[in-house]
Amino acid sequence: MTKTKVAIIGSGNIGTDLMIKIIRLSESLEMSVLVGIDPDSDGLALAKRMNVRTCHEGIDGLIEMPEWEEIKIIFDATSAKAHHYNWQKIQTFPDKKMIDLTPAAIGPYLVPPVNFSDNMDVSNVNMVTCGGQATIPIVAAINRIAKVHYGEIVASIASKSAGPGTRANIDEFTETTAQAIEKVGGAEKGKAIIVLNPAEPPMVMRDTVFTLSENADRDKIRESIANMVSEVQKYVPGYQLHQEVQFDEISASAPVFIEGLGLRSGLKTTVLLKVVGAGHYLPAYAGNLDIMTSAARATAERIVKTNTI
């Protein structure tokens, strides 16, 4: 099988981990170029040791390389601000597709097991955020059974796994994730909270999903959630339920007030998750970064499989 050549912009933790995943795991993607802006970065040094071409002049340098013509998919693992510039350059090449791992959200939000088929022909797709990739599948799984009025997620990650890029994008994280809970997860109203936990030793990623939905068969909701967890585990083996799904009924006589929606009653569902990283480049506790790179790789492989490039 002829592999599709890809490039990664961003030689930090996320870009480097994604590079290793593609080299070690992908049967359809070929790592062509790792791009950065610091010639002395650890990521570019590792790429050279793994016989991957490198560029330290950003997207402009990549476009000038002879490898550019054969590259079909570009992953952007930089920042929301940098992505706007990178996309301005790449969108003039109609034969290229971009997978955005920043919170820039120029393209539509994409969560592989939820809405890939709706966006397979789009030139620029956004991978939401780590919290979004972990929790939106659960919101969508519940929404398939019972209309979700409100979806709230709390993503708790090890402080050590949040680098400068993640910290610079905190505001975009909450806004992007909340919007995707609505647009992809199907909730009428979404809210996202991120917690950087300084505990030592570092804790693995923990995510809590709260939804308020119409009343429905609880066993069907459990089954839908279990099926979705299995789908995510196909590309993130360390993704798992941390406890049994919990339910509480909010009666019409004692409704809760939801900003933007007013008083609502129904079924409250609580889902507790944890994400253990694969440990390819990042430590196992950095499941927040691992789920982003894994989702991006899965998206690119599905693009190749569906022959949309």
What is the C-alpha separation between 237 and 234, in angstroms, rounded?
6
Q: What is the DSSP string of 15-55?
A: HHHHHHHHHHH-SSEEEEEEE-S-TT-HHHHHHHHTT-EEE
Angle, CA of 188, 150 and 293, to the nearest 5°: 90
For residues 92 and 123, is the Cβ–Cβ distance under 8 A?
Answer: no
Contacts of 226 (CB under 8 A, 6+ apart): 241
Residues in the chain: 309
Contacts of 25 (CB under 8 A, 6+ apart): 297
What is the C-alpha separation between 160 and 239, in angstroms, rounded?
20
Which of 130, 181, 212, 228 is catalytic? The answer is: 130
C-alpha distances out from residue 7 to 30, 36, 70, 266, Å: 9, 11, 10, 47
Would residue 55 show up in a list of annotated catalytic residues for this protein? no
Strand ranges (E), the chain: 4-9, 29-35, 53-55, 71-76, 97-100, 124-126, 148-158, 189-197, 205-213, 239-241, 246-250, 256-258, 262-264, 266-275
For residues 195 and 151, is the Cβ–Cβ distance under 8 A?
Answer: no
Active-site positions read: 130
